[in-house]
Structure 1
Amino acid sequence: MHILMTGGTGFIGCELVKHLTGHHITVLTRSPKKAKSALRHADFSNIDYINKLSNVSDLNHIDIVINLAGEPIAAKRWSSTQKQKICHSRWDTTQQLVDLIKKSSSPPKCLISGSAVGIYGDKDKQQVYENTPLAKGGFPFKVCQQWESIALQAQSDKTRVCLLRTGIVLGTEGGALAAMLPPFKFGVGGKMGTGEQYMPWIHLQDAARAIAYLVNHHKANGIFNLSAPHPVTNLAFSDGLAKTLKRPAMITTPKWLMKFIMGESSQLLFDSVRAKPKHLTELGFIFTFSHLEPALKQILHAREN
C-alpha cells in the first residue's frame, strides 16, 4: 500500500514507520533532510519525503492517510500565541488532507487521524470508553473536538475514518517518561497532588502496533482510545516507576505549585481519565504491554542497553 503520513518524525511516527516497512510511505515534513536523518533507522528505500501539500492536486495514488502532525501540547505554557500554534498545527493540516481526499475520484481507503484522551475532560474515577460523554469545556476539549470534527468530514462509502484518542505514550526516547525520569532517578520523585487522578498510558510499541493494526483491519472505523487496558492512578504510576528504578517516591508535588509553573496546561497532570481501549480490544488487537510494571521494566532496560 501507499501511505501518506504527517508527523512521521514525531515520537509515535518514528516508531510507527518501523511497523510499516512493507509499504511505500510518503512523509510530509517541513525539512526532508532532517526527516531522512530522523528516520534513517527505518528507511529501507521505501520512504519518500514531501515538504508541502499545496503541490498535491489529489490523493488518488494514496491508499491510507495517517495524520499525526501537531505542535506538542505540553511543551510550553499555554499563552494565546501557543494555543493558536497548538490548534492550527492540527486543524489546518487535517483540513488540507480532507480537502484533498474530497477532490479525489479514487480517494484513500482510510484516514487515521490523531486526537487525545484530553477530549473527555476530568472524569474522576469513572471508566471512560469511546462512547463516554465529553466534558465540553477546557482547552484540550476545544483542540480535539475541532480536530476530530474536521477529520470526520472525510468519511464516505469510499473512505473510513479512525480517530485516535491517545493517552500518555511511554517509550525509551522522549515523551512524558523522559521528563519524569530525572527526579525519580535522584530519589525526589513522587505523586502529583493527591495522586488519585487516573493516567491513561500506553507503551510506544503498542501505540505504533495499534495504528498499523487499524491500517490493515478494513472494518476499523470510528473512535479508538489509544491507551493500555489497565490505566493507573498517578500514585500507582509514581510508586511503580520508583520501584522499577529502586528509588523512593516520598515527594508530593502540590497542585498549586504545578499550576504556578505550568499555568493552565497543568490540567494535563491533574485531569483524571480512566480510559479503556474497548474498540481496539473488540477488534481483536492484543496489547504486548497491558500492565504498567512490565512496560516500565522493558523501557528502562532498553534505555540502559
Structure 2
Amino acid sequence: MRIAVTGSTGLIGSALVRSLLDDGHAVVRLVRRAPEARSDGSTEVRWNPTLRQIDHKGLAAGPDGSGLDAVVHLAGAGVADRRWSAAYKRQIHDSRVLGTTTIAEAVAGLKQPPRVLVSGSAVGYYGQTGDRLIDETEPAGGDFLARVCTAWEEATEPASAAGVRVAHARTGLVVAAGGGAWGRLFPLFRLGLGGRLGNGRQYWSFISLRDEVAALRYLIDDETLSGPVNLTAPVPVTNAEVTEAMGRVLHRPTVFSVPEPAIKVALGEFAVEVVGSHRVVPARLLDAGFRFAHPTVDQAIQAAR
C-alpha cells in the first residue's frame, strides 16, 4: 500500500512509519519544508496546514503512477508542550482544525481518493468523566480539549462527503519512555522521585506505543471501522495504580506525592488534565477483534522501559 502520514516525526508517527516501512509499504511523509531524499525509502510531499496548502500532485501519484491507499493524519501542536496561554490554546486548536481541513479537502479533491483517512483525536473528547466507564457512545464534553476534539473530528467532513471511510482515533496516554506525557514520568521514577499526583483517584486511560501503532494499522485495514474508535488499553487504571506499577516495574520507591494545588500552580489550566479523570474503554476495537499485546499497565510500562 501507499500511505501518507502527517506528524511522521512525532512519537506515534515515527513508530508508525517504521512499522509500515518494515512491512514493505510505501510511505509518503507530509513535511512543512522543502522535500528531501530519505535513506529509509519513504518520500516527502510538502504542505503548509496554517495556510491550507498542499502539493496535490505529489500526494496523488507515486513513482509507479499509483495513488494513495490510505492517509494517517497525526499532526498537531503538543497539548502538554507548553503552559496554556491564550495564544497557545489557539495554536492547539488551529493546528488540528486547519491541518485536518487541509488534509480532508485534499483527499476529497484527488481523482483517486484513498479508501480511508485515519485522523487523530483524543480521549479528551469526552471531557472529565470521573469514575464512569466510557465507550464511543458517550457524547462530547464541554471543556477546552473536548471542544478542540469535536472541531478536530468535524473537520474531516470533506473526506466523508467524498465517500472516503474516516476513522477518528481517540487516543489515550501513550506509554513510552521516548516522548509524550508518559516520557516525562520515566526519568523521575528511575530516580526514585516519582509519586502520586493529586489524590491519585483519577483514571488514566493508557495504551502502549506498540498497541497504538497496531491499532492505527488495524483502522487502516478493517473496512468495518469508521467514526470514533477509542485507542486505549482494555482496563484503565487510577493514577495511584500507575504509581504503584511504575515503582514495581522499575524497582524504585514511590513515596512522593504532589498535592493538587501545587500541580495547578506549576501547570496552570493544563492541570485539569493531570488531575482529571478519563475512564475510557476501547469497545469498538475489542468488538472488531483487535488483540492487545500489552493489555495491562505493568505490561505497557515493561515494554517501554
Aligned to 1:275, the other structure's residue is in SS state coil
- The 5 A counterparts of 1:21-32 are 21=21, 22-31=24-33
Distance in 1 (alpha carbons) for counterparts of 2:265 and 2:116 = 42
**TM-score, normalising length: structure 2:** 0.91
Q: Deviations over 1:10-35 (max 9, x none)?
A: 10011101221222111011246799
Give the deviation of 1:159 after TM superposition: 0.8
Structure 2 distance, partners of 1:62, 1:34, is: 20
What residue in structure 1 maps to residue 144 of structure 2?
139
**Counterpart position of 2:43:** 48
Counterparts of 1:64-103 in structure 2, within 5 Å, are 64-103=70-109
Q: Choose from 234, 238, 244 the match for 2:239.
A: 234
Task: For residue 83 of structure 1, report the CA deviation from its aligned partner.
Answer: 1.0
- Secondary structure in 1 matching 2:151: helix
Deviation at 1:54, TM superposition (A): 2.9
Alignment correspondent of 2:2: 2
- Aligned residue for 2:170? 165
Give the C-alpha shift of residue 157 in structure 1: 6.9
The code of the aligned residue for 1:203 comes to S
1:251 alignment partner in structure 2? 256
Partner of 1:303: none
Letter in 2 for 1:260: V
Distance 1:157 1:82 in 2: 33
- Unpaired segments of 5 or more residues in structure 1? 301-305
Contact 1:241 1:296 in 2 (8 A): yes
Cα deviation, 1:121-162, whole Å, max 9, x if unaligned, reads 111110010111222x22101211100011133214731000
Q: Distance in 1 between matches of 2:196 and 2:148?
A: 27
Which has the larger displacement, 4-13 or 146-155? Answer: 146-155
Identify the match of residue 286 of structure 2 among 281, 284, 297. Answer: 281
Q: 1:152 to 1:281 in 2, by over 3 A?
A: farther
CA distance in 1, matches of 2:104, 2:190: 45
CA–CA distance in structure 1, aligned partners of residues 191 and 43 of structure 2: 43
- Asked whether 1:177 is paired with 2:182, we answer yes
Deviation readout 1:228-273 (Å, 9 max, x if unpaired): 0011000000111011121221112111111111100111111111
2:134 is aligned to: 128
CA distance in 2, matches of 1:59, 1:155: 18
1:271 paired with 2:276, answer: yes
Q: How big is the shift at 1:292? A: 0.8
CA RMSD across the alignment = 1.8
Structure 2 residue aligned with 1:14: 14
Structure 1 residues 228 and 32 mapped into 2: Cα distance closer, same or farther (>3 Å)? farther
Q: 1:239 aligns to what SS in structure 2? A: helix
Aligned-residue offset at 1:50: 1.7
Per-residue deviation, 1:104: 2.6
| 1:188 to partner: Cα distance | 2.3
Identity of aligned residues (%): 34
State the shift of 1:167 in Å: 0.3
- Distance change >3 Å, CA 222–CA 76, structure 1 → 2: same
Aligned length: 292
Query: Which residue of 1 is the match for residue 198 of structure 2?
Result: 193
Match of 2:64 in 1: none
Gaps of 5+ in 2: 48-52, 62-66
- The range that moved more, 26-35 or 178-187, is 26-35
Q: Do the aligned residues in 2 keep the contact of 1:59 with 1:100 (CA within 8 Å)? A: no
Which deviates the most, 23-32 or 214-223? 23-32
- The one-letter code of the counterpart of 1:124 is G
Q: TM-score, normalised by structure 1?
A: 0.91
